[in-house]
Amino acid sequence: MTNQHEPSRIARRTLLRGAAVGGAAVAAAQLFDLRTARAVGLDSGDYTIRYDNGARQTIKGLGFEIQSDSIGSGNNGMPDLVSGVPFDLTPSERTRFYQQMLKIRSDRGFRYCRLALGLYHRGVTADGKRLVDRYAGQTALLAEMISQAGIEGVAAEYWSPAPAWKINNNLVGTSPDGTAKYGLASFAPADLDALGEAMVADLDHLAARGVPISMWGLQNEPDSPAKYSSCFYEPAQYLAAFKAVAPKIRAKYPNVMIQADSRGGWSGDRGRAIVADQQALRYVDAWTYHRVGTYADEQITGDYTSGALGRPVFNNEFEYLHPTSSFNRTINTAHSIMNWMTFQNSPTWFWLHALKPTTNSESKGYSLGFWRPPSDTDFSHYPNIQPGHWDFNPENFNAVAGFVQYMPWDSVRHHVEEPVHEDGSAYSDHRIMAWKTPQGKQIFAITNRSSSRPWTYNIDTQTAAAFEGHRFGPTTRNDRLAARTGPTLSLTVPPLSIEFWVRTP
């Protein structure tokens, strides 16, 4: 039985070679579906990695989000309960979290930590105009995490500005019944100027306590107010606020990457408002999209770059709203990373949460791992996790871990010549991506999304060196595979697997 997502047509030259091996007579003009291809013995493809002249974009590294304060189960409101990570973890579990999930390698792993201002960092000053720690030592713990895990800095982004700036004087963006959409109280130039000064002060609070700022965003999903911290902007309002605040961020933090619009990039209504305004556009360093839990093939054919005006595009939030889906989540997540980078030239990619609490219904789809808050005494779920401790969520973590471990910061992606369908489109079940580390080490990743059949990659690596393999999957993490010597490697990948092949030494 064939996987429903496997390609229905394959490249004629590859099929004809398979047919000849199988002894079948095939007319050159005929089109063949995958079942016919397999009947003549074709479960493989030929690939050439252009390590010689195929350099593409620099991949900065991956990002994650941290839940450093509480949110209601199912994203339903914000409890008064002080609960988050690293805060809830015991000292030894904090260290294990930093080393085994965030760092992974001996030097550094994830590059960016997305910090939800106004949500997971939501303490408010007495005048209601600035964000500070909600509990003692909150920012200090974030600084400890960043330092010990080797993270470059935070991608600071507002879920809501401080409440005094909003029409409802509240961090929440909707009325209790969800019908009203609450945004800023005033868009008068003087008020927007003051808002910009306050937002700079929010960053100053973090930076002064040891939290470096790597990225900044005006508003997470500005078109989607929610029953937790959020703020609604019409396109013209988003443009006005961005034009007032972004220049102040740039002046105080000149090396920070300013991104927009954290939902629909340049192609959303708010992004298009910026594109049409040259004064605002000059402050946009990158366009960000949310393709939450979507089928990763859309990055192969979707248009994310034609209107980007030379700026990079990337996904800065990926998770699964529902723990079950019609496709394998582990492989789909790996394909999301690879397809954004291979077909959209993205410099980074963000998973949503490192850890989510055992108490929340959304945790399985949102997290790379789970922690048990001290307040959770219900051991009917996640019985292996003690209070103040954490464990991996394998289906999600195993999809991301290999890229964090084997794709160091500032690796350079290299083009791969690969087989295509008759219409010229790329294979979707069998993905490949290659890169060189900053030190020049050659590495590539390959996958097999089929749930039932292996796939063989015949890869010209252009070197006689040996490569060592590391396999990941829904229940597999970093199984070591015997080294193979080039220049041509014949690598058979079992169903639902991701492999990383690293040149040795």
Contact criterion met (CB below 8 Å) for 114 and 65: yes
pLDDT at 348: 99
* Tokens found for residue 394: 């394998």
Q: Over 80: is that where the pLDDT of 1 sits?
A: no
Q: Is the pLDDT of residue 33 over 50?
A: no
Listed residue (63, 138, 81) closest to 360, CA to CA: 81
Q: Which residues of 172-195 are buried (b: 16+ CB within 10 A; e: fewer)?
A: bbbeeeeeebbbbeebeeeebeeb
281: DSSP letter: H
**Residue range 133-160: average pLDDT?**
98
Region 70-78: what's the mean pLDDT?
Answer: 96
> What's the average model confidence in pLDDT over 17-24?
34
pLDDT band at 188 (very low <50, low <70, confident <90, very high): very high
Amino acid at 489: L
Cα 74–Cα 77–Cα 79 angle in degrees, nearest 5: 105
Q: How far, CA to CA in Å, does 48 sit from each of 167, 329, 462, 487?
A: 58, 28, 8, 10
Under the banding of pLDDT at 50, 70 and 90, the label for residue 195 is very high
User: Can the peptide bond before residue 378 be classed as cis, meaning omega within 30 degrees of 0?
Assistant: no
CA torsion 158-203-115-76 (nearest 10°) is -40
pLDDT over 90 (residue 21): no
pLDDT in tens, 130-139: 999 999 999 9
User: Distance (Å, rounded) from C-alpha 137 to C-alpha 210?
Assistant: 12
- Indicate the pTM of the whole model: 0.93
Q: How far is CA 449 from CA 12, 266, 473, in A?
A: 22, 31, 10
Q: Which of 310, 304, 308, 399 is nearest to 343 (CA)?
A: 304
The pLDDT tens digits of the residues spanning 274-300 come to: 999 999 999 999 999 999 999 999 999
In this structure, of 34-43, 229-238, 253-262, the range with the lowest mean pLDDT score is: 34-43
Per-residue model confidence (pLDDT) at position 322: 82
Q: Is the pLDDT of residue 48 over 70?
A: yes
Residues facing 488 on adjacent strands: 460
CB atoms within 10 A of CB 301: 11
> Using 50, 70 and 90 to split pLDDT, how confident is the model at 407?
very high
Q: Which of the pair, 2 or 412, is modelled with greater confidence?
A: 412
Please state the three-class secondary structure of 73-96 as a single string.
HHHCCCCCCCCCCCCCCCHHHHHH
Residues 437-454 have a mean pLDDT of 97
What confidence tier does 42 reach under pLDDT thresholds 50, 70, 90?
A: low
The 10 Å CB-count burial string (b at 16+, else e) for 483-499 is ebebeebebebebbbbb
Confidence band for 493, pLDDT divided at 50, 70 and 90: very high
How large is the average pLDDT for residues 431-440? Answer: 98
What does the pLDDT read at residue 485?
A: 97
What are the residues facing 491 on neighbouring strands?
Answer: 457
Decide if 415 contacts 63 (C-beta within 8 A): no
∠ CA 9-15-21 to the nearest 5 degrees? 150
- Which residue type occupies 312? P
Computed over every residue of the chain, the mean pLDDT equals 92
Does residue 202 carry a pLDDT above 90? yes
| Lowest-confidence region among 24-38, 96-110, 375-389 | 24-38
Q: What is the pLDDT of residue 323?
A: 72
* Section 37-54 average pLDDT: 81
Lowest mean pLDDT segment, chosen from 135-149, 268-282, 417-431: 417-431
Both structure tokens of 296: 């990763």
- The angle subtended at Cα 255 by Cα 251 and Cα 259, nearest 5°, is 90
pLDDT at site 271: 98
User: Which residue ranges form the domains of the chain, and what is each CATH number?
Assistant: 44-56+412-504 (2.60.40.1180), 61-406 (3.20.20.80)
Q: What is the mean pLDDT of residues 304-331?
A: 93
